[in-house]
Homo-oligomer: A and B are copies of this chain.
Amino acid sequence: MNSPHPVLFLVSADSGCVRADPDAPHVSVMDLGVTRGDGIFETISVCDGRAQALEPHLDRFARSARLLDLPEPDLGLYRQAILAAIEAHDDLAELYVKTVMTRGIEGTGVPTGWVYAAAAADFTTARTEGIRAVTLDRGLRHDVAQTSPWLLQGAKTLSYAVNRAALREAERRDADDVIFVSSDGFVLEGPTANVILRKGSTLVTPRTDQGILPGTTQASVFEFAQAEGMNTEYAVIPAADLLSADALWLVSSVRQAVPINRLDGVKRSIDVELSTSMTSYLLDRRD
């Protein structure tokens, strides 16, 4: 039975994937996912029924689990739940699927897992007209993932309160989104997106050893660019390079690539042609 409402599957080693009522509560008040934000997630875009970058998302899910010393997620079970949730959901043009695994109820050592599919918001305006971004200091040096792994930079954890607070700060500054900058002045990432700069015929994104999340959509954009004959580069990028770049994007699952039309209150031209073909490429991805 297809549903226009979110479709939920609970995932556990004991019971496998079990469909459940998304309107009913399924998480204990003693679950470390909620009491400590202690868990991991992935958000996967689904276009015309196809989960995009599914294997890179599952790989990153497993990588986040390792960074948090969580039990290894059973990727086969999560893959099964993702496909089942998409199958059971109404066949809309764009959905998203969220996968979550928490450390479970305190003292049990048994993770809590679930997957749900839901209708994606309409991001057409953001994709075509762009968004306003502000730079905010993330307070951490660009090398903390190496020096201080307990800060969990580069892991996709449920502890996202700071990312949400940064988005509220952006709103206070009349903007839509954020580019985090390290305390020593390097471009990092957005709260839920990677940053891409165009410099001439080269696309550049921050190197992923700087405590930022390796982007599944960013990787697809680089594939696209290479196919178009452009150069791609992972680099340590001084914040000043944002000003001199020819164009800027935030790229992420679901919202895909959105050009930045204003940075820290200063208007920027957007690269309409490249944005359009980038978006087409991303929406058409078959895996």
Contact = CB atoms under 8 A, between A and B. Distances in A.
- Chain copies in complex: 2
Given A26-B28, A34-B39, A35-B100, 18 more contacts: A24-B28, A27-B28, A27-B29, A29-B100, A29-B114, A33-B34, A36-B163, A37-B157, A68-B165, A136-B150, A137-B144, A138-B148, A149-B169, A150-B166, A151-B162, A151-B165, A152-B162, A158-B161
Candidate in A29, A136, A169 with the most chain B CB atoms within 10 angstroms: A29
Chain A interface bracket (under 10, 10 to 19, 20 to 34, 35 or more): 35 or more
Contacts of A157: 37, 161
Interface string A25-60: 111111111111111010000000000000000000
A25 to B, nearest CB: 5
Interface of A: 6, 8, 22-39, 41, 68-69, 98, 100, 102, 114, 116, 136-141, 144, 147-152, 155, 157-166, 168-169, 183
Contact of A140 (B102, B140, B161): B140
